[in-house]
Amino acid sequence: NAGVMQNPRHLVRRRGQEARLRCSPMKGHSHVYWYRQLPEEGLKFMVYLQKENIIDESGMPKERFSAEFPKEGPSILRIQQVVRGDSAAYFCASSPIQGLVGTEAFFGQGTRLTVV
């Protein structure tokens, strides 16, 4: 049973380009969470999705950022018109059907985005 798979592991984009980060949850998991980690800091919650639904996007910047978790395929975090401040590690986590109440989240290895 493969863990949470994120790709790419490293992504370099020029200012103004788009970044697409992909996350495949663990088999059998239907909840996906995206977090952002700036250097030397903790993880900041961005968005929580279930299949075809955004449940909580309270941590997402209002502009340029979007996320989806389609019926088929991985979850996608999309950042349009990237700026240098978007440079960070983006982590995806998944959990089983009951969500996070009383259970752990399983994290991917992250995508390190560098905006040049």
Partner 1 sequence: SQQGEEDPQALSIQEGENATMNCSYKTSINNLQWYRQNSGRGLVHLILIRSNEREKHSGRLRVTLDTSKKSSSLLITASRAADTASYFCATGLIQGAQKLVFGQGTRLTINP
Alpha-carbon distances, residue 39 vs 36, 44, 64, 107, 111 (angstroms): 10, 12, 21, 18, 13
Stretch that binds partner 1, among 21-29, 39-47, 64-72, 77-85 (CB under 8 A): 39-47
Stretch that binds partner 1, among 14-22, 38-46, 60-68, 73-81 (CB under 8 A): 38-46
Exactly one of 20, 45, 87, 96 binds partner 1 (CB under 8 A); that residue is: 45
Q: Which residue has the tokens 């290895």?
A: 109
> Among positive and negative, which fits the CA dihedral 18, 29, 93, 111?
negative
**Interaction between residue 18 and partner 1 (CB under 8 A):** no
Please give the residues from 56 up to 95 whose contact with partner 1 meets the rule CB under 8 A: 56, 91, 93, 95
Exactly one of 52, 70, 103, 116 binds partner 1 (CB under 8 A); that residue is: 103
Q: Which residue has the tokens 């950042």?
A: 79
**Could you tell me how many helices (H) and strands (E) the chain has, helices first?**
0, 11
CA 108 remoteness from chain centre: 9
Exactly one of 11, 43, 54, 76 binds partner 1 (CB under 8 A); that residue is: 43
Exactly one of 1, 2, 14, 42 binds partner 1 (CB under 8 A); that residue is: 42
Q: Are 12 and 4 in contact (CB under 8 A)?
A: no
Kindly list the residues in this chain that would bind partner 1 in the complex (CB under 8 A).
Answer: 31, 33, 35, 41-45, 48, 55-56, 91, 93, 95, 99-110, 112
